[in-house]
Amino acid sequence: MNNIIKLHDKFFNLFITDEKINQAIESLVHQVHEDIEDEIPVFVGILNGSFIFVADFIRKYPTNCEINFIRLASYEGTISSGTVNQIMGLTNDVTGKTVVILEDIIDTGNTLAKIYDIFKTLPVKQLKLATLFFKPDVFKKELPIDYIGLSIPDRFIVGYGLDYNELGRNLKDIYELKTENMKNIILFGHPGAGKGTQAELLKERYQLIHISTGDVFRFNIANNTDLGRIAKSFMDNGELVPDSVTIEMLKEEVNKYRTANGFIFDGFPRTISQADALEAFLAEKGEIINGMVALEVQEDILVQRILERGKTSGRPDDQSEEKIRIRFNEYENKTAVLKEYYQTKGKYYGINGVGTIDEITDRLKNVIDNL
């Protein structure tokens, strides 16, 4: 079962599982059979969407029945045209019989009104209507619906016979159109630029999840996870942890927060290959990086900041200007290439990182609010 799928140009989230659908059909079958008892009904499915629902319904129906279909159409893409046309009509003789319409979904009621128009001139004993899905928020007609499987919000759904431009009918679950995108930000800058401080403030303002690569590494190693053990084996040998391990750690961390509004990535990506992997991973979820926001500070100012921090941090590499500048050189050689990577995508935003914390936060907000 996939939680997110792509059909044509749109992404859809898992909404209703096949198990829940099956339970709703069993309930509908029970209700209809109790009402009709030993009579042989004519079940009429509305094509195209209801064909799977009809097949499952009649297989569960415990006594004899007749089956027929009519075809009506009103949807174009994800929008109802508001006009319903009868494309294919009945072939059964329904004189004196109980007819039960099996509809996959009722929303505005336009299709339902057309159904009642079709049958009002036919000599049926009684007409009943069962729908698997019902959208009460947009139902506009004063027409009876005898049996309802599941009431759902007004969302565009696909699967279980329902389509988006003819794709998705074969899905066993129901998916809803993904309409709200996350806000995903890469917070970028040299060591000492203040990323950690600003990330804490921004995550509160925008209700985002802050993912620090350093924190993720420490968690995996401290908790002796499979990825943590792999990473530690490289680190113990004085080797760089491969991008593939870092990326898998990040994916696991992101997947912990399936309902997040978005993420602040701090310390990731560090290489072009990591950036490519992050783009591909988010694309699978129908998401993107909205922007790389960089705190730009002159190197001499950063050196003084880190030396000052070194008085209390306890880190030896914060207490030596030579070691600090070596870190900067490594940053320029390996990480700063990402600036060009995101510039070519039109997603790089440089921010003056000198000033009070509040001043820098305001500059960041001005950019992020417009991403």
Instruction: Specify which residues 179 forms β-bridges with.
Output: none
d(CA 272, CA 247): 12
Instruction: Specify which residues 209 forms β-bridges with.
Output: 263
d(CA 52, CA 46): 11
Assigned CATH for 183-368: 3.40.50.300
d(CA 286, CA 163): 19
> What is 3-28 written as a DSSP string?
SEEEETTEEEEEEE-HHHHHHHHHHH
pTM to 2 decimal places = 0.57
Residue keyed to tokens 């299709």: 111
Q: Walk along the chain (371 residues) and give the pLDDT tens digit of each residue.
A: 677 888 987 888 889 999 999 999 999 999 999 999 889 999 999 988 899 999 999 999 999 999 999 887 655 555 554 555 655 678 888 999 999 999 999 998 888 888 898 888 899 999 999 999 999 999 988 889 999 999 999 989 999 999 999 999 999 999 998 766 678 999 988 888 888 899 999 999 898 999 988 899 999 999 999 999 999 998 888 787 898 999 999 999 998 887 788 899 998 898 899 999 999 888 877 788 999 999 998 989 988 888 888 888 777 777 888 888 888 887 777 777 898 999 999 999 999 999 999 999 999 999 998 88
Task: For residue 321, give the 3-state DSSP assignment.
Answer: helix
- Cα-Cα-Cα-Cα dihedral sign, residues 334, 340, 344, 345: positive
Least Cα distance to 127 among 99, 102, 104 occurs for 99
* Cα atoms in the Cβ-side hemisphere of radius 13 Å centred on 49: 21
Domain boundary assignment for the chain: 4-177, 183-368
- Kindly report the CATH class assigned to 4-177: alpha beta
d(CA 284, CA 277): 11
Residue keyed to tokens 């809803």: 176
> What is 180-242 written as a DSSP string?
---EEEEEEE-TTSSHHHHHHHHHHHHT-EEEEHHHHHHHHHHTT-HHHHHHHHHHHTT-PPP
d(CA 22, CA 149): 10
Helix pair angle (357-368, 195-206), 10° resolution: 50
Least Cα distance to 50 among 110, 133, 138 occurs for 133
Q: How many helices (H) and strands (E) does the chain have?
A: 12, 15
What pairing do the DSSP bridges indicate for beta strands 42-47 and 66-76? parallel
Going edge to edge, which strands form the sheet with 209-212? 209-212, 262-266, 183-189, 291-296, 348-352
| CB atoms near residue 34 (< 10 Å) | 8
Cα dist from 283 to 206, 257, 367, whole Å: 22, 16, 23
d(CA 218, CA 207): 24
The answer to whether the 4-177 and 183-368 domains have the same CATH topology is yes
